Amino acid sequence: MNDFTIILGNKNYSSWSLRSWLALKQTGVAFDEEVIPLYEAGSVTKLLAHSPAAKVPILKHGDLTVWDSLAICEYLAEQFPEACLWPTDTNERALARAISAEMHSGFVALRGDMSMDMRHSAPDHIPGPGVDADIMRISEIWNECRAAHSGTGDGPFLFGDFTIADAMFAPIASRFRTYGVDLDSVCADYVEAIHTWPAFVKWFEAGVIEPYVINW
């Protein structure tokens, strides 16, 4: 048994689980994982056995239980400073935290209308009310971040190298692909960078072959 265990929802659907799992993978630490299939009879009882919040993701480290995707990411950033889960530059770190928090608390229309469903393809999906505004704001964020790092020899992520901000936006990249969202070249390149990131590929491959199906 490893020191760290992460409790996750279905990999095909659980966008909050994906975020914390990507950050944990980025640390390089060995960890155990347990998937609790969500929205089935008995799911909540299983979640409550791990956390009073009854939501995934949940991180366990020794006697400590941390729930909530962003709190887990912050804890991992503290535990593994060498993994640079936040940008090293102070201003970039503040910006990365701001956009991660904006993701964590916002884009409600998009999250409701375009659920993460990695094995699904709906290129003709017509966005519901408020979704276009969310897409425009996300495109603005991605363009602003990438403008400072494209053509610099840095990596393809929002702040060059992979950070928590990318973990937070990775499920959006997945949704944009599933629902055939039209993107400018900067955003399209970013979606591609997420989809070819080895950790994301690993999660995706496990998600699409899961037996569980949620009928929303």
Ligand X SMILES: N[C@@H](CCC(=O)N[C@@H](CS)C(=O)NCC(=O)O)C(=O)O
Binding site for ligand X (CB under 6 A): 9, 14-17, 38, 44, 55-57, 68-70, 104
As measured in angstroms, the least distance from the Cβ of 2 to ligand X is 21
Beta bridge partners of 7: 34, 58
Q: Exposed, middle or buried: residue 147 (CB in 10 Å: 0-12, 13-18, 19+)?
A: exposed
Whether 169 and 138 have beta carbons less than 8 Å apart is answered as yes
Name the amino acid, one letter, at 150: S
- CB nearer to ligand X: pick between 14 and 178: 14
183: helix, coil or strand? coil
Q: Are 24 and 6 in contact (CB under 8 A)?
A: yes
Q: What amino acid occupies position 30?
A: A
| CB closer to ligand X out of 117 and 156 | 117
Tell me how far, at minimum, the Cβ of 182 lies from ligand X, in Å: 26
Nearer to ligand X among residue 16 and residue 21 (C-beta): 16
SS3 86: coil
Rounded least distance, CB 58 to ligand X, Å:
9
Least Å from the CB of residue 200 to ligand X:
16
Complex with ligand X: residue 165 or 183, whichever CB lies closer = 165
